[in-house]
Amino acid sequence: MKRNLLLISNSTMAGEVYLGWCKELITNFLKKFNIYEVLFIPYAGVNLDSKSIEFSYNAYESKVQRVFDTDNIYINSIHHYSDPTNAVLNAKCIMVGGGNTFHLVYELYKNNLMTTIREKSLCGIPYIGWSAGANLACPTIKTTNDMPIVFPKSFDALNLIDFQINPHYIDHNPADHGGETREQRILEFLVVNKDMKVLGLREGTYLEIYNDNMWLKGDKPARLFQFNTEPREIKPGENMIII
């Protein structure tokens, strides 16, 4: 399997600028492949201040572009293309931003892009995704944290990896919150999806995947869940081929 994937848990750390903590790892990933032009997928962006979804996409593109201006990396959003399939076919790199995963997948199916992006990504084109963009690389989006603000054609995603990711994974509920913990919700998922594995990807962590080799990186361990098995911690730097 030919894959070059960078799957990031989160875009922003508390108190930091947008993409501040992960900008360097993204630019290094792009430079590894001598890439300075990126096809950006903004469909997860639903801007609360916008009057239209088109405005949301323009604002999202500009927000990401400002981050990479000093690196001479050009962010070109797919929503500008009259033929988005052709845009994917000619892309040198695909970058998928975070936001609402259901809206992201809804738009990808609406524009008939899911299969095209998957095929391009499995041919080795670099793929970068954070938060919802990391969810998109999984077999399904069933372990997203988002509300289903729209109903996509399917919950099936790109299936670039054979396990699920839960981005922004936290170990405990906030004080005075009586609902389920994140771990309990993941274990519910495994009761009805017994053959699947789920990786709780804590903030400040990411996966680098090259072909069949996969590494967890960042400043925290990840938590791996399987049905009827005690969850275990995976250390940063560990080769994830074991899962």
- Catalytic residue numbers read 131, 146, 168
Q: What is the spatial distance between Cα 11 and Cα 18, in angstroms, rounded to a whole number?
A: 6
- Structure tokens belonging to residue 209: 């995947």
User: Is residue 167 a contact partner of residue 201, using CB atoms and an 8 Å limit?
Assistant: yes
Q: What is the spatial distance between Cα 191 and Cα 227, in angstroms, rounded to a whole number?
A: 7
| Region label for 136, one of left (φ > 0), alpha (ψ between -120 and 50) or beta (otherwise) | alpha
Q: What is the spatial distance between Cα 71 and Cα 36, in angstroms, rounded to a whole number?
A: 8
CB contact set of 95 (below 8 Å; sequence gap of 6+): 38, 39, 40, 41, 64, 75, 127, 128, 129, 133
Q: What is the spatial distance between Cα 126 and Cα 92, in angstroms, rounded to a whole number?
A: 7
